[in-house]
């Protein structure tokens, strides 16, 4: 059985983070292993507290998994601090394993999930060793230091982010022109743009980015090339969202098992 490692924070509400990643990996019939970076006290309405795990515990998790499991792909989510980025980078920099980097900066509820000069260290360390980075519109604006208001702006941001070093850039367009009925995700890879169109499903959902990036990692681990991995994940996430049900009065957690 192929193995995917996720490195992310724990979401006590299980809508995103490690919990969403592991559910996604299971639904792709793969074995998921995890490195927890932070523990959050959160539900569908808010994040109340964030606790960063000690660096030696994070390092220990990485050592334990890398030394034992035949990992075929790695998904990176919430890291929270520059110190955690450095630990992750030092452990992964010499591995020949595709990395899917979801550069999480804020929670769906709007809470900052980074500290210090996080963006600078992320650019210098993890983006250059990643196979693909999957920012949303806000994250793409921050990473490219540009404003995005249309698809041409997205394409320009993709090129700027690509120059940082990732093999591919996938900008998720869900927050672009939110009054429109269609959503375009744009992949920039090997000098080409790939456009993925899907219908907008109205609702305030939680865990889309985590689930989507984990799905891409799963498809890479299963032997698909990068473009096909994204295509398969686009179909998967569309079905995941369409089959999600409200559990509480807050955000709607996406249903990885649709």
The answer to whether residue 178 scores a pLDDT higher than 80 is no
Q: Which residue has the higher pLDDT, 201 or 92?
A: 92
Separation between Cα atoms, residue 203 and residue 251, nearest integer Å? 8
Q: Is residue 139 predicted with pLDDT exceeding 90?
A: yes
Domain coordinates in residue numbering, the chain: 3-132+210-253
Other C-beta atoms lying within 10 Å of the C-beta of residue 5: 27
Q: What is the pTM of this model?
A: 0.95
Is residue 214 a contact partner of residue 75, using CB atoms and an 8 Å limit?
A: yes
Burial zone of 16 (CB within 10 Å; 0-12 exposed, 13-18 middle, 19+ buried): buried
Distance CA 46, CA 252 (A): 13
May I ask the CATH class of domain 3-132+210-253? alpha beta
- In order of 15, 64, 130, 205, 221, the CA distances from 24 in angstroms are 11, 22, 20, 16, 13
Which pLDDT tens digit goes with each residue over 91-137?
A: 999 999 999 999 988 887 777 788 888 999 999 999 999 999 999 99
Beta 47-52 vs 71-76: how paired, if at all?
unpaired
Over residues 11-43, the pLDDT tens digits come to 999 999 999 999 999 999 999 999 999 999 999
């Amino acid at each position: 059985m192929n193995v995917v490692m996720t490195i992310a924070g724990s979401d006590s509400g299980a809508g995103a983070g490690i919990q969403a990643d592991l559910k996604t990996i299971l639904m792709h019939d793969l074995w998921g292993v995890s490195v927890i970076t932070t523990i959050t006290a959160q539900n569908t309405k808010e994040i109340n507290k964030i606790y960063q795990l000690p660096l030696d515990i994070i390092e220990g998790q990485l050592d334990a998994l890398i030394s034992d499991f035949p990992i075929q792909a790695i998904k990176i989510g919430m890291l929270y601090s520059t110190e955690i980025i450095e630990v992750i980078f030092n452990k992964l920099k010499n591995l020949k394993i595709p990395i899917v980097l979801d550069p999480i900066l804020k929670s769906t509820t709007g809470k900052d999930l980074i500290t210090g000069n996080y963006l600078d260290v992320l650019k210098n360390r993890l983006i250059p060793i990643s196979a693909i980075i999957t920012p949303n519109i806000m994250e793409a604006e921050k990473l490219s230091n540009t404003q995005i208001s249309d698809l041409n702006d997205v394409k320009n941001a993709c090129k700027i982010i690509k120059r940082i070093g990732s093999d591919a850039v996938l900008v998720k367009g869900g927050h672009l022109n939110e009054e429109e009925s269609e959503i375009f995700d744009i992949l920039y890879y090997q000098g080409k743009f790939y456009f993925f169109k899907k219908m907008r499903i109205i609702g305030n959902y939680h865990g889309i980015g985590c689930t989507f990036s984990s799905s891409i990692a799963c498809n890479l681990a299963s032997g698909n090339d990068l473009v096909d991995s994204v295509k398969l994940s686009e179909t998967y996430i569309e079905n995941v969202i369409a089959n999600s049900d409200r559990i509480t009065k807050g955000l709607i957690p996406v249903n990885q098992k649709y």
